[in-house]
Chains A and B, each alone.
Chain A
């Protein structure tokens, strides 16, 4: 069993063989992956050592202290947070060896072709078709809300392979090459002015059967791994006190006494308390995971994160008074990553409106908490035994 001392020794060896100051960034990241220090809980040969997940912090701390480059997890968040755990769990050996290394180093960016104009919260209602032709699947349909599609080399894709069975049963999961003919990415401009998301049109795209992940018709179950990891990734960041959006607004309050009012003071203090308590809940959840007693608290983290971001950024626009009436830039940018602190309060206010929609709406998550944590009865399902093709649309 690999322990903390062993990982420190391996990290020291990596740093000795590839001194960060004298090594190309990509070369260092590849060497780190090959040393099993990328994600230590993954298997040997796939970037890990089969060590306890909690020991990753030991490696990260040593590398950070040595000034080693990181793999910019924000830009490649979909690959790291969603595609990787799904490929690890359901992929063939060939798929794992082909995809995990360039995914982790960031050489290949991933996106997620799940949501459709007619399948948002009811994701399993999706209509993109994949039809078997020889060794290939031919895919036709439209996807939406696709972050990073304009940068992505690969996509995780779910498509309907059997319209004759109920909606959850006829879905299959694929790994789609975004450079293939028939894949068209169009920017989708949002309320912030930028085009962070895309629409993706799939027209006669041929995906070889070797790029199928999991069994035919089992895509919904595979997608659950992706979706559960997405919610963990969105709500589960480790933060110091004032580490989230409460940080900028607190700083503004301290630096600008001229903006202070009694009404805003009370709201700020209330939100400061809520942000600190949410941070403690996240910390408690992590301690439970490390202690091997995972609790259901994670289900609530994204809900809390969305509500707080919206309330805090709304407060900050008001706090800025006259400045709150201006906006930094309406030009249609194509950001590589969502920056919640780099732009101004107006941007944060508008962008945070998406926090209660993306990755599962707050309403869907409340249902999940009510049914899976509290054990309350599920909503009556009128579509359970109906073939997808017979559903009203």
Chain B
């Protein structure tokens, strides 16, 4: 089951990475991301348009017959690595992965096509912290309309369509215009949360909620590891660069063994995370050994990304504590990601059942 896993990047995947990185280098500078987080519009919809519409990346997971690219989770993972490396404020994970997977499970071709084109942003109305196997709240279905409130919905402020679980076990599509979306003050400024209030909102049933949410959250958890890899890789690379430049005691600070060992340890963790994230992406793409691979990747990824961002802050010292340096964006993303789609502990618990290491 666990054998014959392709853990490398193909030439096409490296070309995709280069194209996404070029775009982000030109249009997602850290200073601009910081400025944007202080505005009323934290999402960069111009960048989204370039990624989703011009490059066609919103439809990677959607078959060509439904207007997508017919690619796999391996390619989506590479995109997420680069978006993580740039802490890009775009709803890629939430719309192009989570909502898209839910629609794939339901088989809703019309909405799938719209999400794949990138012209419609879809968001699954399940709290960001929910693990793949966990319970999730549903709103009340009454007289063909939805009533209730859901909290912690990532990127809801940017959504055109919300996919909402209801108490009849169905998943419903609701136009964002029919809901009241109120931004929450979020730890992660680049992936903001919102509450969604529905007061007799018109809706359309698209399928059963349980299998759709499960599939969506599992892909999210597996691919989130690639975003966390991007975050960790940025933190390591920037810190190494800084410690080669920074001089104290008439030496490059990076020459002190106490710091070299910490960076070498971090490098080891990033190397391991890359293997775990690739394994999860490949397992999602092939459908083999998926549950274990996703749980392993997510149990490993969160502590590494947080550790990398925390080390980056500490080793940049004073400058790392400032608002103007982008480290705080990465720390906030890494810490929020450690709760997203299940904590490392939740994934270890899931793993215990999967590999027969039962609790006492």
Residues of A within 8 A of B (CB): 240-241, 250, 253-254, 257, 260-262, 265-266, 268-270, 272-274, 276-278, 280-281, 283-284, 287-288, 291, 293, 297, 300, 303-304, 363, 366-367, 369-371, 373-380
**Helix, strand, loop or mixed for chain A's interface?**
helix
B73 at the interface (CB under 8 A from A): no
Residues of A within 8 A of B255 (CB): 376-380
B15 at the interface (CB under 8 A from A): no
With both beta carbons as reference points, the residue of chain A lying nearest to B356 in the complex is identified as: A254
* Interchain CB contact under 8 A, B8 and A377: no
Among candidates B263, B265, B272, residue contacting A278 with C-beta atoms closer than 8 Å: B272
Residues of B within 8 A of A (CB): 2-3, 5-8, 240, 243-244, 251-252, 254-255, 257, 260-261, 263-265, 267-268, 271-276, 278-279, 296, 299-300, 345, 348-349, 351-352, 355-360
Which residue, B254, B264, B299, has most C-beta atoms of chain A within 10 A? B264
Residues of A within 8 A of B240 (CB): 374-376
* Interchain CB contact under 8 A, A376 and B244: yes
In the complex, the 6 A-B pairs of residues with the closest C-beta atoms, listed nearest first: A377-B255, A370-B260, A260-B360, A369-B264, A280-B275, A284-B7
Which residue, A269, A297, A300, has most C-beta atoms of chain B within 10 A? A269
Known contacts A268-B357, A283-B275; is A274 also within 8 Å of B260 by CB?
no
Residues of A within 8 A of B276 (CB): 277, 280
* Interchain CB contact under 8 A, B8 and A287: yes
* Interchain CB contact under 8 A, B296 and A277: yes
Whole-angstrom distance between the Cβ of B274 and the nearest chain A Cβ:
7
A303 to B349, CA, bound (A): 27
Known contacts A281-B275, A376-B243; is A273 also within 8 Å of B299 by CB?
yes
* Interchain CB contact under 8 A, A262 and B267: no
Whole-angstrom distance between the Cβ of A242 and the nearest chain B Cβ:
8
With both beta carbons as reference points, the residue of chain B lying nearest to A365 in the complex is identified as: B264
Whole-angstrom distance between the Cβ of A370 and the nearest chain B Cβ:
4
A273 to B280, CA, bound (A): 13
With both beta carbons as reference points, the residue of chain B lying nearest to A275 in the complex is identified as: B296
A191 to B273, CA, bound (A): 35
Whole-angstrom distance between the Cβ of B282 and the nearest chain A Cβ:
10
- List 7 other contacts, CB 8 Å, given A269-B349, A287-B6: A272-B357, A273-B351, A280-B7, A304-B268, A370-B260, A376-B263, A377-B251
* Interchain CB contact under 8 A, B244 and A375: yes
Known contacts A277-B272, A280-B279; is A374 also within 8 Å of B264 by CB?
yes
With both beta carbons as reference points, the residue of chain B lying nearest to A249 in the complex is identified as: B357
Residues of B within 8 A of A253 (CB): 357
A2 to B240, CA, bound (A): 44
Among candidates B251, B257, B267, B348, residue contacting A270 with C-beta atoms closer than 8 Å: B348
* Interchain CB contact under 8 A, A265 and B275: no
Residues of A within 8 A of B8 (CB): 284, 287-288, 291, 293
* Interchain CB contact under 8 A, B252 and A377: yes
Residues of A within 8 A of B252 (CB): 376-377
Residues of B within 8 A of A376 (CB): 240, 243-244, 252, 254-255, 260, 263
A297 to B254, CA, bound (A): 21
A254 to B356, CA, bound (A): 7
With both beta carbons as reference points, the residue of chain A lying nearest to B1 in the complex is identified as: A241
With both beta carbons as reference points, the residue of chain A lying nearest to B347 in the complex is identified as: A273
Residues of A within 8 A of B257 (CB): 367, 379
Which residue, A270, A273, A283, A366, has most C-beta atoms of chain B within 10 A? A273
* Interchain CB contact under 8 A, A277 and B355: no
Residues of B within 8 A of A300 (CB): 267-268, 271-272
Whole-angstrom distance between the Cβ of A305 and the nearest chain B Cβ:
11
Whole-angstrom distance between the Cβ of A354 and the nearest chain B Cβ:
20
* Interchain CB contact under 8 A, A369 and B275: no
With both beta carbons as reference points, the residue of chain B lying nearest to A303 in the complex is identified as: B268
